Structure 1
Amino acid sequence: MAQGSIITSPTGGKRRLGPYRGALGALFGIAAAGALTRLLESGYDPALPFLVAPLGASAVLVFAVPASPLAQPWPVLGGNLISAMVGLALGHLLGDPWLAGSLAVASAIAVMTLTRSLHPPGGACALLCALGASGTPAWGWAHLLPIALNVVTLCVIGWIYNNATDHPWPHRAQPVAHQPGEPYRREDIDTLLAEWEETLDVDADDLDAFVQELLKRGRASG
């Protein structure tokens, strides 16, 4: 998409898009998370990190694709923190980095799916914590502190920045009205997704709105 282009959303609003919106948001989010975590950890334990690597991947989702179901607040918070706890628990329980890391990522995916908090950086959090907990010196439960501070701060900055730049977050897909005689119904999308047994990185209502806009343009050009 060209820099500065304008698209009209299904709700009628206009958004000016630029290639640097997501980059600036990530800059603010990571900088704020690092600064606040370092400040709050001051004097607590110098061995604790003030930034964890999976936060970078979370920032890409939150600021570059804020409409993604995988980038919403609960997946960011729950996916990272639940996976971190799984990784720490398995790291302490098994002691072997290879075995703990493998089971931690697999278990994190299962738990995130069950809790509807699927978030790709959660897999990295699980692996990081499993390796840390099975290493020397072993990570303890105190290592949840910087992870929690990081993701909470990122979510706060994501909420402020995305909404200020006209990308409402949490994202709420707007259902669209179907015209009589449409070639499909809204329910058909849910049925097909269930038959595919796939998780698509787009809300079903957003997908419906996209197809409806294509049909509208096809009728106009025909």
Structure 2
Amino acid sequence: MLKFLISRSATLLPQAAIGHLGWLRGAIGAGLAILISGLVTFLLLGANSGALPMLVAPLGASAVLVFAVPASPLAQPWSVIGGNLLSAAIGLAFGLAIGQPVLAAGLAIATAVAVMSMARCLHPPGGACALLCALGAAGPDAWNWSYLIPIALNVLALSASGWLYNNLTGHPWPHHVLLPTAPPTPTEQAYTPEDLEAVLADWNEVLDVDIEDLNAIYQALQRRVRKRSRPQS
């Protein structure tokens, strides 16, 4: 098992500190977004700032996605906003209705995954939101629907920060596919996006990348290989 984990980790590409998607860029953006989210929530809650949380833990996971992998379908604005808020509401609903933390948490997670999938806003931190709210509502703290307010403020402030920071640092968010600059050759047009979807269906896997991105990567790869194979003049 350890050998498998090491071999898998060795396939990850090293990430530079600076550059278009360097880890320093993502780290700074995530940190600033959390600070801004907490400050905005504190200012807007006013008199309720002591009774409600200023920051919720799932926001940290959302920040990792938005600033470290902003091209991921799981990190797009609708995924961040819809995934977190729908899941939080589901968690509160089950916690208030059932009152038993473990049962409410299990049902909330299952329902949140189903709803996010159907609403096309699958977002892993949404599962954490559902769990947090189910436990909060069913537990001794007795969370009520007012707890949706700081969560919503957190999520909206993070999304606004992500939009501003990612675009200012040269990475459009929401993500836009980088289309090839030259038109595809007849050889490159020998397949269609539907073919890519069929292959993924045959694999019975869900990859964290859009079909359009896969298509653009494959076309760019073909051009790079063809350019390298040309005889040098």
One-letter amino acid matched to 1:213: A
Asked if 1:164 is matched to 2:168, the reply is yes
Aligned mates of 1:64, 1:96 — CA distance in 2: 36
> Are the counterparts in 1 of residues 116 and 122 from structure 2 also a CA contact under 8 Å?
yes
**1:137-216 to 2 correspondence within 5 Å?**
137-176=141-180, 177-182=183-188, 184-216=191-223
Aligned mates of 2:223, 2:191 — CA distance in 1: 14
Aligned residues: 213
Confirm whether residue 39 of structure 1 aligns to residue 46 of structure 2.
no
CA distance in 2, matches of 1:27, 1:55: 11
Aligned residue in 2 for 1:79: 83
In 2: Cα distance, 1:127 partner to 1:4 partner = 34
Q: Normalised by the size of structure 2, how large is the TM-score?
A: 0.86
Q: Deviations over 1:51-109 (max 9, x none)?
A: 00000000000001111111010010000000000000001111111111111111100
TM-score by length of 1: 0.90
Distance 1:24 1:188 in 2: 39
Given that 1:4 and 1:16 are in contact with CA atoms closer than 8 Å, whether structure 2 keeps it comes out as: no
| Number of the residue aligned with 2:65 | 61
SS at match of 2:22: coil
For 2:4, the equivalent position in structure 1 comes to: none
Question: Residues of 1 paired with 2:147 and 2:46: CA distance?
Answer: 14
For structure 2, the 5+ residue unaligned runs are 1-13
**1:8 corresponding residue in structure 2:** none
> Closer, same or farther in 2 for the Cα pair 1:4/1:138, shift >3 Å?
closer
One of 121, 127, 133 as aligned partner of 2:125: 121
Moved more, 198-207 or 181-190: 181-190
Correspondence for 1:48 among 40, 52, 70: 52
One-letter identity of the residue aligned with 1:146: P
Structure-2 change in CA distance of 1:82 and 1:16 (3 Å): closer
Name structure 1 gaps, 5 residues minimum. 6-14
**Counterparts in 2 of 1:39 and 1:45: CA distance versus 1, 3 Å:** closer
Relative to structure 1, is the Cα distance of residues 161 and 193 closer, same or farther in structure 2, using a 3 angstrom cutoff? same
Q: What is aligned with 1:135?
A: 139
Q: Give 1:4 deviation, angstroms.
A: 6.8
1:18 aligns with 2:22: yes
State the alpha-carbon separation in 2 of the partners of residues 135 and 4 from structure 1.
43
C-alpha contact 1:80 1:125 (8 A) present in aligned 2: yes
Amino acid at match of 2:159: C
Q: Deviations over 1:7-27 (max 9, x none)?
A: xxxxxxxx6443200001001
Name the amino acid aligned to 2:184.
Answer: H
CA RMSD of aligned residues (A): 1.7
Q: 1:2 offset after TM fit, Å?
A: 5.8
Greater displacement, 77-86 / 18-27: 18-27
Q: Which residue number corresponds to residue 112 of structure 1? A: 116
